[in-house]
Amino acid sequence: MTKALNKKHSRYEMDMCNGNLFFKIIIFSLPIMAMGFLQLFYNAADLLVVTNFSTNKDALGAVGSTSSLINLTVNLFMGLSVGANVVCAKLFGAGEKDKISKVVHTSILASFIIGVFLMIFGFFFSKNLLALMNNDSEYSVLYLKIYFLGMPFNLVYNFAASILRAVGDTKRPLYYLSIAGAVNVVLNLFFVVVFKMDVDGVATATVISQIISCFLIIRTLCKTTECYKLEFKKLKIHGRSLWEIIKVGLPAGIQSSIFSISNVLIQSSINNFGMTVMNGNSAATSIEGFVYTAMNAIYHASLTFTSQNVGARKATNIKKVTGYSLIIVSAIAITLGGILFLLGPKLLTIYTTIPEEIEVGFIRLHYLCLPYFLCGIMDVMVGVLRGLGRSTLPMVVSILGVCGIRVAWILFVFTPNTNFQNAADLNLLYVSYPISWTITFFIHLICYFIFSRITFKKFTNQEMCLK
């Protein structure tokens, strides 16, 4: 019976150290990509429902303008899930499966505690945080307060999903998110159309869907007989495991949060233009998110594949993972970015039919979609460096190269007007994105050449010691 169960669950795992790595990176990434698309459909469903069925004309901007703030408050702690992924993947690649259990139980308990903290913080300080972004909309405050109630479930799901990714299982998180996504869409319509709710309805639907996805993935960890099995009686913060997670995850979280700070500053600048620009920008952000999500899947692949091969001490494979990931992410970004650019005006009409808002939205798509591959290759290098165990370095480089440039751009180059009259101001604002991506990528590339050689030399020394 036990052997049958082991066989059942092991089919979800993936050997990232042998075989055709190019093909395996694609296979590994596709479920993550689909999962990201589903998450965007969640968000898009929120926007579409309030746009088409709500009587509140400002609902689109109220919901869309909260995304950068949500990312800012969540990403610091969500980065720890990256740490859990890297630590588990290295142990799995090294064949030290007995140590994975401590990482699993530490990760799940820590994510729940952090989630509860964020829930309380977000609920009581949503108004204050939005005020810092020049957003005094009562609808934005209401949406944000309800959204934060789902934080414990959101974080637990993401940490659990990172554990499954570490062993190559990207399929089951997709299945669970698909179920939760369907529930989210149905509840969106039910609350807004039937009960005549507003942004509170779509926020409530999102929280319920997060609870469902969390329950399903925790159930999987509890029922498995593999090394990543979860037992509630064993939930404990193991100091060494937590430290290993923090070493990788905290710099990743800090980087994401500071990225979000720069985006918050940009969103604040956008808010100065009024609701027309806010609505158009929200619509474009929702569309461009599909390109970023596809690229982000390759980032996770480069991170996990590199980590497993570091554990297995396979230098040649790490070089292959780096090259393959750069090729794949560039192909995806150029293809999808080009499609969205060509179809941009038509796609924007899904969210709004107001010509001025469509014009504003397409300005953003023009500057972000075509050069988006620069962001993709930048993120892949970050993933490889973190897989090599160098998490602090890409954090520092990204903060200085991306955030530093954007903040400096807003402070010294961009001067916002309070009324949208022509595209010049927005052009000047959005061009900061591709400039920052390009500079940061080349710095990351130099760092990779330096630190990969150091890592490979360690492999050689370890092999000599073993002999």
Least Cα distance to 148 among 173, 171, 180, 126 occurs for 126
DSSP, res 272: T
125 vs 405: CA distance, rounded Å: 29
Kindly report the length of the chain: 467
162 vs 169: CA distance, rounded Å: 9
Give the phi and the psi of residue 58 in degrees, each rounded to 5. -100, 10
pLDDT at 461 over 50: yes
Q: Where are the beta strands (DSSP E) in 74-190?
A: none
339 vs 365: CA distance, rounded Å: 11
Please tell me the predicted confidence (pLDDT) of residue 462. 63
pLDDT at 5 over 50: no
Inter-axis angle of helices 372-387 and 432-466, nearest 10: 20
Which one is predicted more confidently, 308 or 356? 308
Tell me the average pLDDT across 39-48: 72
Confidence grade of residue 135 (pLDDT, cut at 50, 70, 90): confident
Please tell me the predicted confidence (pLDDT) of residue 3. 42
Q: Is 336 within 8 Å of 294 (Cβ atoms)?
A: yes
288 vs 81: CA distance, rounded Å: 24
pLDDT at 413 over 90: no
pLDDT at 246 over 70: yes
Confidence grade of residue 8 (pLDDT, cut at 50, 70, 90): very low
327 vs 339: CA distance, rounded Å: 19
CA distances from 137 to 194, 264, 267, 275, 459 (A): 24, 16, 14, 11, 56
Confidence grade of residue 210 (pLDDT, cut at 50, 70, 90): very high
What is the overall mean pLDDT for the chain?
A: 85
Confidence grade of residue 62 (pLDDT, cut at 50, 70, 90): low
Q: Is 229 within 8 Å of 221 (Cβ atoms)?
A: yes
How much of the chain exceeds pLDDT 90, in percent? 42
Q: Is 141 within 8 Å of 126 (Cβ atoms)?
A: yes
407 vs 261: CA distance, rounded Å: 9
pLDDT at 161 over 80: yes
Q: pTM for the full model?
A: 0.83
Tell me the average pLDDT across 284-311: 91
pLDDT digits (tens, 9 = 90+) for 99-111: 899 999 999 999 9
Confidence grade of residue 298 (pLDDT, cut at 50, 70, 90): very high
